Amino acid sequence: MRPVAVVGIGKTPFGAWPDRDIRSLTTEAIAKTLKDAHATPEQVEAFYLGNFAGPSFVGQNHLAPYVASAAGMSGIPATRFEAACASSGSAFFHAVSAVSAGMYDVALVAGVEVMTSQPTPKVAEILASAGDLNGEIRAGATFPALFAMIARRHMYEFGTTREQLAAVAVKNHAAGSKNPDAHLKKVITVEQALKGKPVADPLTIYDCSLISDGAAAVLLAPLDRVREFGGKGARILGIAQTSDHLALDQKQDITTFAAVQRAGAKAYKMAGITAKQVDFAELHDCFTIAEIIASEDLGFCERGQGGPYAEAGCTSLTGARPINTSGGLKSKGHPVGATGVAQICDIVMQLRGEAGERQVRRHSIGLAQNLGGSGATCVVTILGATA
């Protein structure tokens, strides 16, 4: 297995784009990526697309060749990956595996979702299909309801408070306000977060990620070819994808995600590091409680201490370990199929020192964690600078 690097990144702004479709958003992100890598479409040998529900949101299927041909990459293998909100994280995992194995030298990975084409109740219904049909969905459960149950149990077990959930939202909104590509550039206070419109007790609207449109892309190549693509690569130190049960009632403990723990352990082992050596991270904050639990499962803090860890400012831009300097799904936005690759783009920006007002001081090693459903899929990637 040979070392692999991300040699180009590109993404669209996230937001509500009623005049854009899947093809136009993805081709924009791809064009930016190829420009960033000083590459051409003809150099790409394989295309991997992450998309959760294009057929349901916009009625288009067979999406990978649909996008690849529009981006000038017709004729190569083009495959769509679906793993709920971890769709493009999964596409990225499989592309890295192929390049590492020597099957391809240059692979392009993109993620996209157009969600605002449907009214909010329909969006909730489509997203719920990533849960367990026979149990949760037939009982009327949506993901806000499921994560509200997770939050309530975490509160019961560990004393986590609504103020600590709010601290995550406030911190991510503060970072997102500095991100020119974020969907919601709005600074909020703890009081605002606590008084937000109720969604599913104890979660308010400020605890929930956004319904967004957008796309992101990255170009992969062997590490020894970084200089051919502009020399601004980021080395993939470790990567793992794992899975777990879809339904909450099948999990032994809903205050932890077994898939996150397993993926983190495998990625740390591959990278030859521990959690203490991670300088910053992009965690999957589909809901504020998800970031708190991920920070525990990945070893950034002790079990049950994710709430106090966030409330103490440890995860802020100037904290000991900044988390979601992009604004996270909470502020940057969450076009579900694009999220995993967008996280990689944000990690690479930090490693390059190109994050502007959001740039962290220590940026040698970054971690991205992409979650699917209520923990049924997880992809963890650890990246480091190549120079």
List residues with catalytic annotation. 85, 334
First to last CA, the chain: 21
The C-alpha torsion from 33 through 221 and 102 to 236, rounded to 10°, is -100
Question: For strand 46-50 and strand 107-114, is the pairing parallel, antiparallel, or unpaired?
Answer: parallel
Burial of 177 (0-12, 13-18, 19+ CB in 10 A): middle
CB 130 within 8 A of CB 85: yes
Residue 287 DSSP label: B
Max CA distance (Å), the chain: 56
HSE value, Cβ hemisphere, 13 Å, CA-based, for 174: 16
Tokens, residue 12: 């669209």
**Whole-angstrom Cα distance, residue 264 to residue 361?**
24
Alpha-carbon separation of residue 275 from 191, 290, 300, 309, 351 (angstroms): 32, 18, 6, 15, 17
HSE value, Cβ hemisphere, 13 Å, CA-based, for 127: 31
**Whole-angstrom Cα distance, residue 212 to residue 84?**
15
CB 257 within 8 A of CB 244: yes
- For 361, residues 6+ apart whose C-beta sits below 8 A from its C-beta are 318
DSSP assignment of 104-131 equals: -S-EEEEEEEE-TTS-HHHHHHHHHTTS
